[in-house]
Structure 1
């Protein structure tokens, strides 16, 4: 049997976080998704959607793949496009790190950088730019990661079962940030299908709309603001985000995530991206609200190697003024269908 890049996607290790300030009787585990061949958790979703598109004939040989991305989905697309003979055109907001942009170009993808600080319906927005290119390029294929149910399905059938089996079903809570919603909806949906008492907690950055939408049922444009952590939060409701799976949503800020990145590096030897820092910060916040014994699990979506010019750059850190913001107060509610 010939082995392809796709054969290396998934089956990532799960490690326990032991050196941080975690309450007694609470165990925290993290799945090292940055060990996928494309360097992030997005390899799973991209492979799943491309495999499906090829099976049903939606993606023809030599076609152009167009997608909007914060970098990691783009890296996975560029990797598979290079291997399978497709052209890739990727649009992204200008806050995406230079490392991520360079990786995409190195693998032959065309990148189009769009302004971050524009309205979601602006023709300059990176999502709208990708949609326009998809309409204009004959025979092109767009993954549509924000609204494609296959995004969450990929994690329901792969990441979720891997976590469940690795921990023998002994899981109290799954905690993760999200943007498209695929990771938390898929993993959370699988885990709750096995045990509906599992808490599924979304971490949402200040500047995103998900927190208020979950708690109040409204989208408030005044909530939308710029933040530095990439690949998390959103300025519009992604159809892939299944709020019925969630049992709580708590807020974090850039400082919460970035400080935790440095703690993970120095205390656990894990050099991770900003969303990973947010995820571990959220696990510790949730741990404070749980009665021991309890097991919390999360994912570390990508590597800090993609953010050396930002998160791990002393000059960049000195230039930024992060809002302090008080830590979220977490109240763990019993999972119920009305949590949607």
Structure 2
């Protein structure tokens, strides 16, 4: 926990992010899913990853992937170069850890990603290579394709590959989930659980790891609800992405765009690290819905979050309003609902959705 003395380095500031009561959002949207606790009334809560050292949920996986690769002998400090394709947040986390641990970093970044992310990584010492946003993931011109080529061309280069690296999900199963359980129990009591999880989905590590970690805990507590191992998991996927199930959800309807401005979630392929069997229900969200909800979080709760947090809230509200189970949850004071807010407004200050 922070506030218990001098920390050893910036790496000790990764994770341990707050679980914040979304009281105004709950009130404004007429939600009753509120914890009646011995200490306080805690409404639907958000895990605010903007408070991590690098400003996002991806700090966690970046550090774990590096440390595990060192244990395996794949990375050597002062010798190896880390090359990684990213939409930005994993890159920032890698650059932050690499600056402290002594690695060179090359990041391949699609053009649509914010200038703020590029400048952050450049400030941390990385070389940034921009790639076409519309290049298919399997293309040699995509950020993944360029990274793979560079690994073969540059001596002592290593691609940690967040898309398939098991430490992506493990960082959340062993870390983020433990924090969520700890903070809920500190408020509600030692037998408390999270009943419902909403998370945006990109590489899949966050939702996969959290689902596994929270379900293990809920199962051990003999959770008294009707969900798989005591937890309902809802994945939020942008319109234009191909991650949701059933596949028919990913169809582009008349008037919809196949591209999306939201950063950090959604892909045109299924990452190996995403276990879709852990997701019980999928919700699609549009850019407009996502940015509207991001503004609502910023202006109502004073949380300086990024656009994908707006997607998560938009997906949660849509599920709670439009599905039979969601409507039950929204009016059930006993339910604990957790939303993952993946990053910070800091990465998007010059983006149109903030300015307008």
| TM-score, normalised by the number of residues in structure 2 | 0.83
Q: Distance in 2 between matches of 1:193 and 1:287?
A: 25
How far 1:133 sits from its partner (Å)? 0.8
Mapping for residues 82-97 of structure 1, pairs under 5 Å:
82-97=99-114
1:310 equivalent in structure 2: 351
In terms of mean alpha carbon deviation, does 128-137 or 281-290 score higher? 281-290
Mapping for residues 1-340 of structure 1, pairs under 5 Å:
3-20=8-25, 21-26=28-33, 27-62=43-78, 63-168=80-185, 169-195=192-218, 196-211=229-244, 214-216=245-247, 225-288=258-321, 289-291=326-328, 292-293=332-333, 294-314=335-355, 317=356
How far 1:311 sits from its partner (Å)? 4.7
Structure 1 residue runs of 5 or longer lacking an equivalent are: 318-340
Q: Distance in 2 between matches of 1:199 and 1:75?
A: 31
The C-alpha deviation readout for 1:212-242, integer Å capped at 9, x for no partner, is: xx21499989999311000001111101001
Q: Distance in 1 between matches of 2:265 and 2:238?
A: 7
The C-alpha deviation readout for 1:297-332, integer Å capped at 9, x for no partner, is: 012111112101115543xx4xxxxxxxxxxxxxxx
How far 1:290 sits from its partner (Å)? 3.9
1:64/1:311 CA distance change after superposition, 3 Å: same
Q: Distance in 1 between matches of 2:261 and 2:336?
A: 30
How far 1:22 sits from its partner (Å)? 3.1
The answer (yes or no) to whether the contact 2:211–2:278 under 8 Å persists in 1 is yes
The C-alpha deviation readout for 1:90-130, integer Å capped at 9, x for no partner, is: 00110111111111111110000000112222111111111
The answer (yes or no) to whether the contact 1:208–1:224 under 8 Å persists in 2 is no
Structure 2 residue runs of 5 or longer lacking an equivalent are: 1-5, 34-42, 186-191, 219-228
The answer (yes or no) to whether the contact 1:283–1:296 under 8 Å persists in 2 is no
The answer (yes or no) to whether the contact 2:239–2:250 under 8 Å persists in 1 is no
Alignment size in residue pairs: 313
1:331 equivalent in structure 2: none
The C-alpha deviation readout for 1:251-273, integer Å capped at 9, x for no partner, is: 00101110111111111111211
Q: Distance in 2 between matches of 1:125 and 1:91?
A: 9
Q: Distance in 2 between matches of 1:218 and 1:287?
A: 18
The answer (yes or no) to whether the contact 1:160–1:191 under 8 Å persists in 2 is yes
The C-alpha deviation readout for 1:124-150, integer Å capped at 9, x for no partner, is: 111111111112212211110011111
Q: Distance in 2 between matches of 1:151 and 1:115?
A: 25
Q: Distance in 2 between matches of 1:278 and 1:311?
A: 16
1:221/1:263 CA distance change after superposition, 3 Å: closer
Name the Cα RMSD after superposition. 2.1
The C-alpha deviation readout for 1:181-205, integer Å capped at 9, x for no partner, is: 0000001111122221211010000
Q: Distance in 2 between matches of 1:66 and 1:220?
A: 33
1:224/1:236 CA distance change after superposition, 3 Å: farther
